[in-house]
Amino acid sequence: MTSLTIDALPAPFTFDPEHTALVIIDMQRDFLLPGGFGSSLGNDVSLLQTAVPPLQRLLAAARETGMTVIHTREGHLPDLSDCPPSKLRRGKPSQRIGDPGAFGRILIRGEYGHDIIDELTPAEGEVVIDKPGKGAFYGTTFGDELVARGITSLIVTGVTTEVCVHTTTREANDRGYECLVVSDCVGSYFPEFQRVGLEMVSAQGGIFGWVADSEAVIDQLAAPVSPNASIAG
């Protein structure tokens, strides 16, 4: 396939869908559902929920073009052996990782709350990366999966903007990946962090990457390939 160009900040973002992965970060029930871990910490989960409809549309468009789709989930083994004690100690005592929550043990693999929301259930063949940290590279096979598929660009979505989305984007940028963060497909519990988090990506000439909205990406993915591009030989 030929390269596509999206109107983005700080400059147009050019990518080849064959070498691009849609990365959907931590769209898990524990973070997004009312009554779950995120809301039990006093957060307004509706701020994260706004990302769901545009992300569903973007995911459908990516699947239509045959792009690589990779989902991540933040969480830990039931015995918590992969959770650093420092991380385990954070938060209020009754709301720590591994404690019983409304949707099972909080952020524990295999629990209902740890899994991805129904609206974005991974399709067969899509990669699901279980990560112990905020970034998708640390302690996972994410980097290997990208290399194995010849991926050079990432379209980054999910939650939360300033935490796992940022950490993953920064890690990817340092590894040479070109990252587009989709502004309406990422969410933060804090409106100020959402705004500034997005600004931080594209500031300084795109210090970590590019930012565009889902409509700009979907329009390009759905655009018919120009006749010249499809003429073989």
Active site residues: 26, 131, 164
Question: Does a cis peptide bond (omega within 30 degrees of 0) precede residue 152?
Answer: no
Query: What DSSP designation does 166 have?
Result: H
3-state secondary structure of 204: helix
**Please, what is the minimum distance in Å from the beta carbon of residue 90 to ligand TIU?**
9
Q: How far is CA 144 from the centre of its chain?
A: 17
Q: Which CB atom, from 42 or from 233, has the smaller least distance to ligand TIU?
A: 42
* 120-150 residues labelled b (16+ CB within 10 A) or e (exposed): bebeeebbebbbbbbbbbeebebbebbeeee
Q: Radius of gyration of the chain from Cα atoms? A: 18
CB 83 within 8 A of CB 76: yes
Site of interaction with ligand TIU (CB under 6 A): 26, 31, 74, 134, 159-160, 163-164
- Pairing mode, if any, of strands 20-25 and 68-74? parallel
- Closest distance of CB 38 from ligand TIU, Å: 7
Which is closer to ligand TIU, CB of 15 or CB of 103? 103
Of 39 and 202, CB closest to ligand TIU: 39
